Structure 1
Amino acid sequence: MRRGITRIELVVTAGMLFLGAGLLLPRLQAARADAARTQCTDNLRKLGQGFSEFEKVHGGLPPRRGGFNNGAPYSGWGAYILPYLGEEAVAKKYNLKYDFFDPANKAAVEAPVKPFLCPAAPGERTITIQSQASTKSENADKDTVYTTKAGVCDYISSNGVLMTRGGYGLNANTTDQMIGNPRQPMGDNDFVPLAKVTDGLSCTLLLIEQAGRPDVWRAGKKKDGDGQFGLSPNARGAWAGWGSIAFGPADAKTGENPGRGDSTDCSVNCNNWFGIYGFHTGGANVLFCDGSVRFVGTKLDPLTFAYLTLRDDGHLISPNDY
């Protein structure tokens, strides 16, 4: 005669399955996190290759901000390197003679482009822009306000360094809180040759992870707010829009910039508006001008971070320094 499963046996079996699931789940989560970090690294490496190919063809890196001081239609480095990322289909839909938020570019700009996205960053996100055509755009209608929900980019370049006025900021040899602009690898409205990176390509930052825009993140917590510059065309985070922001350390307790100028300040994973910010345990990825990608930890010294962003300050920094 066949004997059915007793209640005790059922409880024991369920307990064993529950225990096994509890042991397996952290491993699955860790594997997913590792895969996301690897893909994020591969994306940055692909972007580095795209920049390198662009520089060879055009004699310089693309503009980080097209349209700065009305120098061109609004755009950023993302639109320029599309053909060098294998994104020819999107590139064919994009016209640099119009602002990135213009209806002429809507089909391209609203498309998510995988190399610009770190899979570790949460959620499906867009950057909403509302603006009239700029003076340099070939769109003759300067009165209509256009709305675009642009695809995002989790990587960004620098257009200066926000430095504390005291503490380690005194060692930056400046009387101005904003230093360095325009002494980064990329410039505004024009192509900057890599030859101008005299500090060395392997110790000068080209891009950093600054993931999560337009949401505001401080030390792993999402805050209220929907973008650093509202709906304006200079809002950061759109892959086709302005691709740079002033870098700087944050107060480790509040996540706000600037920091206090002491050892408690934070350059990595404290602030996704000014600092390096990734959704990885222990650090985030950065891209150097030589195309190398490195994972930097949360102990990156703020002054070292500042020196790494400048192309010609004379500080030759090795990987052992951070």
Structure 2
Amino acid sequence: MRHSQKAKAFTLVELLVVIAIIGILVGLLLPAVQAAREAARRMQCSNNLKQLGLAMHNYHDVYLKFPTGGLPVTLYRIGWPGRIFDFIEEGNRLDAMNSMSADALVTITPYRTLGAPHNGAHEIFANPIPAFACPSSPLGEQARSAPQINVQQGTLHYRANAGSANYGMVAGSDSGKTISTSGVIYPLSKTKFAHITDGTSSTLLIGEISDRQGWTDGMLNGWGGIQPWTWGYYYYGATSGWLQIDNKYVQYPINFPGSVTTNASPYRSAHPGGAQFSFSDGSTRFQSETMDLNILHALATRAQGEVISTP
């Protein structure tokens, strides 16, 4: 005799238990996946800073000094990012800029001007430069240029170290135009390795400013906020002072969320717990937001004789 046998199926309770187990496993796995993705993004950001630090060294080899943080030329000029193009495989971009206007780094102002020879909406300025953008930043690879022209240009998530608010300060016509000259890259700087007597491994070169971290829209898009690489500085005159856009001096802790002065916007990032920095010896290190502010000030100066130890 042939016996028929029904296939055994899940009961509703068993099905709910399986779904619950799968949900728990997904809940446990998702943070690990997100952590792995952030670790990869953080590594890419570190590689960006490594590339920029190496480019700065190569620039120094050729010109026997680091790029300056500003020249005495008025209006919204391109700063150190354009000066290292030849050393980050962006030489064609610089050649194209120079075809618009000879010596383009001091003769065009694409940040604020659409007309020739500035051509602020041109793809040369609109297309992102991967080495200038932190992949963890929620702000993307482009930043809004001046409100007057309101175009998107390639962003800059890394700012050079101009020094400390405790040393070498030069007053401008108001507090927003005061600068520090105690770092490596600042207005009119001509810094050489020989000038970094505190030690290149103990002196910041470039750090992250890649996240809004509580900034209002006005702060984010203001002169101290996250701007395109097309604007490095503004020179107001010998007695009036400067805006420092692609270089900043240290006055606030890392990831400081409050209102800040233009030239001293704090280093900040979307990486949990701190921000990434390139040091003057070419090394790249993550620095905690809980770092003692006095240590951060010491890292920002090139020749104050501090003895410090960093991770």
- Give the alignment's TM-score, normalised by structure 1: 0.73
Contact 1:100–1:240 (CA under 8 A) maintained in structure 2: yes
- The 3 A distance-change label for structure 1 pair 235 and 94 is farther
Q: Give 2:78's aligned residue.
A: 75
The match for 1:195 is 194
Aligned residue runs from structure 1 range 40-189, under 5 A = 40-66=45-71, 69-70=72-73, 74-95=77-98, 96=105, 97-101=107-111, 102-103=118-119, 106-124=122-140, 126-130=142-146, 148-162=151-165, 181-188=180-187
Cα 1:120–1:21 change in 2 (3 A) is same
Structure showing greater radius of gyration is 2
Q: 2:218 is aligned with what amino acid?
A: G
CA deviations over 1:215-248 (Å, ceiling 9, x no partner)? x423xxx534253635xxx865322321112321
Q: CA deviation at 1:91?
A: 3.2
**SS of alignment partner, residue 246 of structure 1:** strand
Distance 2:170 2:97 in 1: 42
Corresponding residue for 2:238?
none
Give, in angstroms, the shift of residue 89 of structure 1: 3.8
Question: Match of 2:266?
Answer: 275
Aligned residue number for residue 242 of structure 2: none
* CA-to-aligned-CA distance 1:61-119 (integer Å, 9 cap, x gap): 112235xx426870111111122112334333333232243207832221111111111
Paired residue secondary structure (2:139): coil
Among 18, 33, 37, the alignment partner of 2:38 is 33
Structure 1 gap ranges (5+)? 132-144, 164-171, 259-270
What amino acid sits opposite 1:117 in the alignment? Answer: A
Gap change, CA 1:15 and 1:130, over 3 Å in 2: closer
| 2:206–2:278 Cα contact (<8 Å) kept | yes
What is the letter of the counterpart of residue 247 of structure 2? Answer: S
Amino acid at match of 2:296: F
Counterpart amino acid of residue 158 in structure 1: N
**Identical aligned residues as a percent:** 24
Query: Relative to structure 1, is the Cα distance of residues 12 and 81 closer, same or farther in structure 2, using a 3 angstrom cutoff?
Result: same
Q: How many residues align?
A: 276
Q: 3-state DSSP class of the match of 1:319?
A: coil
Q: CA RMSD in A?
A: 3.4
Equivalent in the alignment of 1:217? 213
| Structure-to-structure mapping, 1:193-272, within 5 angstroms | 193-212=192-211, 216-218=212-214, 223-225=216-218, 227=220, 229=222, 237-242=227-232, 243-249=246-252, 255-257=258-260
Cα-to-partner distance string for 1:253-312 (whole Å, 9 max, x where unaligned): 963448xxxxxxxxxxxx996222121222221111110111111221212211211212
Tell me how far apart the structure 2 counterparts of residues 272 and 73 of structure 1 sit (CA, whole Å): 15
TM-superposed CA distance for 1:45, in Å, is: 0.7
Gap change, CA 1:130 and 1:118, over 3 Å in 2: closer
